[in-house]
Amino acid sequence: MGWANIYRRRLQVFAVALVIYLDYKAVQKRVKYLSKSKKDAIWERTHQRNAKRLLNLILQLKGLWVKLGQYLSTRADVLPEAYINALRQLQDSLPPRPLKEVRRTLKKEFGKSISDLFCSFVETPLATASIAQVHRATLKEGQEVVVKIQHEGIKEVILEDLKNAKSIVDWIAWAEPQYDFSPMIDEWCKEAPKELDFNREAENTRKVSENLCGKSVHNDNSPYSSPDVLIPEVIQSSEKVLILQYMDGIRLSDNEALEAYGIDKKKVVEEITRAYAHQIYVDGFFNGDPHPGNFLVSKQHPHRPILLDFGLTKSISSSMKQALAKMFLACAEGNHVALLSSFEEMGLKLRVDMPEQVMDVTTVFFRTSTPATEALENMKSLTDQREKNLKALQEKTNLNKKEVQRFNPVDAFPGDAVIFMRVLNLLRGLSSIMNVRIVYLDIMRPFAESALLGSLSSGPAMNTQWIYDTPIHSDVEAKLRQLLVEIGNEKILGIQVCAYKDGHVIIDTSAGVLGRYDPRPVQPDTLFPVFSVTKGVTAGMVHWLVDKGKLKFQETIANIWPEFGTNGKDVIKVHQVLNHTSGLQNAMGDLLRSDPLVICDWEKALKHIATLTPDTEPGSQQLYHYLSFGWLCGGVIEHASGKKFQEVLEEAIVHPLNIDGELYIGIPPGVETRLATLTIDISELDKFMEMNSRPDLPDSLKQGDILQMATSLPVLFNTLNIRRAIIPAANGHLTARALARYYAALANGGIIPPPHSNLSKPPLGSHTHIPKLPPLKPQKKKRGTKSSMKANPSDPSYSLVEIRTEDANGGTGGNKARRMFNNPKIRDAFMGVGDYSTLTLQDGYFGLGFRRFRSDNDKLTSFGHSGVGGSTGFCDVEHDFSLAVTVNKMSMGNVARRIVQLVCSELNVPVPDEFSEAGRKGPDMQLYRGS
């Protein structure tokens, strides 16, 4: 290309771009105060004249701009109809290049003339595209073929057009920051020149054909069925000429022919979508240019799609393939954690923490396609969603409206993801042009699942990485690991087990993966959601406040929480909440049924629970407080301490035990990549259905649908808004090593154990992430009530922390040991025995906040708390022993029970009745014990 031609093309591009931009800005101001009907008419005329301007420019420039126009013509789901009608002409053949040019290229590439190569050659091309034109021919051997011949000088044109396109996109991003397409054009600039080498395209065609049409993929035992498509055979190639097998097919734009042959257009698009899902998620090698011109439909029954043109083909790594699959499945299930994790794995970096809006935006790519007739409605929906997200972004960043429009929330966008999203958009446009509705989630899910589940298919015995590679602390840990391999991934998805004996770590094992759709290995610092195990942590905080003199077990709650003393609750005492006899076991039930997400609103939940009336007389019956326990204790903790709940958690438990970053009740932003994802053991759902008839099931559970609760819990608690909520009865996120250390301290009367094993990597307590807390709202004190707050929370020197030291004989000095509690009988308080026996029911499940366990000789020597689904933590006082198990595959199986039985038997520690074969089970264990 000469310089004159280069500048002419550049001037044309920028001139038309500027005219179109100014036209829209002028109309935007002009229609501001007009009626809707007048607005619509003016906008329609504006779209028509600018679409015509764009089409004329493309027809003049040809080259890369034809490809851009073809891409835009497929976006009937979002572009005005005027643009689709105008640019659709580009899907038909462009004016052909002269035959003498074709002859020169063939001679140059193969060293032979047309007559030497073919016995017949049709001079009129079948189609002429931006880079090449295609002629039908017959080889000397009689085989019918098509010959794809590159235009002379097209390489220089394409490279120049890319520069101009890049400049246009940069200018638009400056003028209208919300329309920043820089990542897409950057990736296109990198990939488009590869289309100019037809040898590369030939190799790509062979590879895709083998992946999609090879015999190996037609396997009935495969978790996904292979797509039923056709791909032409490669006959011969050079850099600028490609000879392919001829296939007689119908163009997707030829609606009359499609109907004449009785072709099911929806089935065709679904099969094309399946072919792309296979290429992306199974092969990791896909065509990045699925516009309508690259497909035909065979005329022979069963009218299979014919896939053409593999010039722009993208290869992605196994890790990127899994990340894209995880992104898709996270959208399908509304799993914010997995979505953010997939972003990090693929290298997509965000500047703001807005997981719900990110989910909304990402889900747009996988939404069900709409026919072209619904484009206007679809555009309005997307615009409304965008305005909603901009408003949320403005509130989050405190930027003004103008600033937020110029703010780009994405810091880095990987090229592989750009091409992936371009493919999804093209497929969506394809279905819109064909006027069919496609449910992408249903079609693509099996292929995305195969990308992740494939890495989990081998059992633990065959996979040396199934158990995380950390040193073995003891013989019992070696036997435990053998047991985990024996149980296998049929019952275990991800698991952590940690145990302390006499203050020292004897087990610290992690195995499995973070989630059903997350094949990363579980590590010692992986955070597991543990449901009611959280109650044991919350109870410890109440005991800590009592020990510090901020609270009394026999104190009425209304004395410290005045708003609570209504509707017969003025007699409820602190110990009655801890031992589940307050009568508020069903509190919040009605509100949760009407508004399940109310559990995310801490202040609203506290206010609501303060207005309720007990269902039973306080102190009369021990009825398990599944969720209300957390808000009751939480309200008591905040009002007694004068501090926020999470501040007390950090001060009472996390900091003294040096378990920072590994025990949260309501996770902060920034820990999502360490989170395990919940799933349910599908094979045991039938056991849930049998539970309603069980006589030992708590009455509060018989009122509900156990099966529905069991299947909905993982979905609900995988969402990030639930994980970030303060739900002190059920929303702990912790590691087994943090939980085992906590119970090791409780077993020894609050003496903090020596530092955790240095064999456990990363070191326990090395995560410094601390939640950012909202400012404390001062509590209004009612007249005539006594407040137990003994310190001014606004005083910066205010602290409840008091670390004492004592030697091994109980005196001060000597070998220093840090204590969490001052009370020498604190273990009796945990279990509700000795001096505290009058505060509990003699034969009740619970002491003061903890589930107390009996041994074979009926002695109360152990206490702890289990959670629905399988996680548990407990300690044995007499044997100075603690054990924690965290799992992410919720079941009614016996994984935790078998682990506890093995470890206890090896250490000669009595098996708590909760985990014995015939012992009585607590209410949470009833939800997952084996029959």
Give catalytic residue positions: 289
Angle at 113 between CA 108 and CA 114, to 5 degrees: 115
What's the CA gap between 214 and 112, in Å, rounded? 33
Query: Is residue 764 a contact partner of residue 737, using CB atoms and an 8 Å limit?
Result: yes
Strands (E), 612-711: 663-665, 679-680
Query: Is residue 595 a contact partner of residue 641, using CB atoms and an 8 Å limit?
Result: no
Q: Is 467 helix (H, G, I), strand (E, B) or coil?
A: strand
Query: Is residue 269 a contact partner of residue 345, using CB atoms and an 8 Å limit?
Result: no
Task: Please give the structure tokens belonging to residue 705.
Answer: 């649908």
Amino acid at 388: K
φ, ψ of residue 398 to 5 degrees: the values are 60, 30
How far are the Cα atoms of 253, 429, 672, 773 from residue 667, in angstroms, in the given order?
52, 40, 8, 11
Q: Do β-strands 285-287 and 305-307 pair in parallel, antiparallel, or remain unpaired?
A: unpaired
What's the CA gap between 332 and 367, in Å, rounded? 9
**Prior bond of 596 cis (ω within 30°):** no
Which DSSP string corresponds to 139-177?
ETTS-EEEEEEEPTTHHHHHHHHHHHHHHHHHHHHHH-G
Smallest CA-to-CA distance from 90 within 71, 103, 115, 105 is with 71
Amino acid at 377: E
How far are the Cα atoms of 187, 254, 313, 338, 443 from residue 191, in angstroms, in the given order?
6, 30, 8, 29, 28
Q: In what order do the strands lie in the sheet with 732-734?
A: 528-529, 732-734, 663-665
Q: Which residue has the tokens 């901009």?
A: 390
H/E segment holding residue 547 = helix 533-547
Q: Sign of the C-alpha dihedral, residues 71, 77, 78, 81? A: positive
Which DSSP string corresponds to 396-453?
HHT--HHHHHT---EEE--HHHHHHHHHHHHHHHHHHHTT----HHHHHHHHHHHHHH
H/E segment holding residue 203 = helix 198-213
What's the CA gap between 680 and 596, in Å, rounded? 20
Amino acid at 707: L
Q: Is 2 helix (H, G, I), strand (E, B) or coil?
A: coil
Q: For the packed helices 265-277 and 440-453, what is the interaxial angle rounded to 10 degrees?
A: 20
Query: Is residue 249 a contact partner of residue 238, using CB atoms and an 8 Å limit?
Result: no
Residue 353 is given by DSSP the state -
CA 258 to chain centre: 40
Which DSSP string corresponds to 204-261?
HHHHHHHHHHSGGG--TTSSSPPP--B-PPEEEE-SSEEEEE---EEETT-HHHHHHT
The radius of gyration of the chain's CA atoms, rounded to the nearest angstrom, is 34
Q: In what order do the strands lie in the sheet with 249-251?
A: 249-251, 295-298, 305-307
What's the CA gap between 328 and 430, in Å, rounded? 20
